[in-house]
Amino acid sequence: MTSQQLGRDLSDIWIPRLVGEVLVDALRWAKKTAGPVGPAGFKTNRKLQRFIPTLEDHLEEGWGLPEVAGDEEEWLAPVELAIDPKRADLFMHALTWVGVYLINDGHPATGKILSLSLAHSVSRNSRAFDAALKQEGVSRRHSYRMRDKGLSIIAQALNRDQVPVPERITLSE
């Protein structure tokens, strides 16, 4: 049954499905914004290292006007829009939910399995997920139950703490 069939509007309360979607979006945002970190993730960006003299540099050195073959027009470069600050705040807060509402509140095993499940949702690496579950001694079916339990606990805690539900999140049918 959907919320319309029950006669209730669920747009103002946290439900486990919404919590899961926000957590996955937050992890994707973090991965996209921060990229890989740590010694294995350190990579240099040649574009950032390249010295591109400004017009002032050219004039100061007496080089004349800058001309670079193959220069692309700036307006042709793809523009990536940043997310709005409210959404960024939601994602920053969401990245702490597993630690705050599960691990610190006495559900460390559920928090660990939920974290593995969320990482699998972001990376789509089934082999790594299965290997991690095997290492934890948990079957895939049981991991789904633990994931759902974790999302439910977080949803209840968010409702208890009166965390406002974001406006523009649409649940896929």
The pLDDT, as a whole number, for residue 70 is 62
In a domain, 51, yes or no: no
In a domain, 95, yes or no: yes
In a domain, 91, yes or no: yes
In a domain, 166, yes or no: no
Amino acid code (one letter) for 84: D
Domains held by the chain: number: 1
In a domain, 41, yes or no: no
In a domain, 54, yes or no: no
The pLDDT, as a whole number, for residue 173 is 40
In a domain, 42, yes or no: no
162 CB-near residues (< 8 Å, 6+ apart): none
In a domain, 68, yes or no: no
For the chain (173 residues), the mean pLDDT of every run of 10, in chain order, is 56 91 92 69 56 82 75 60 83 94 93 94 89 93 96 96 78 42
Considering only CA atoms, which of 145, 157, 170, 168 is closest in space to residue 14?
157
Residue numbers of the domain that contains 17: 3-35+83-160
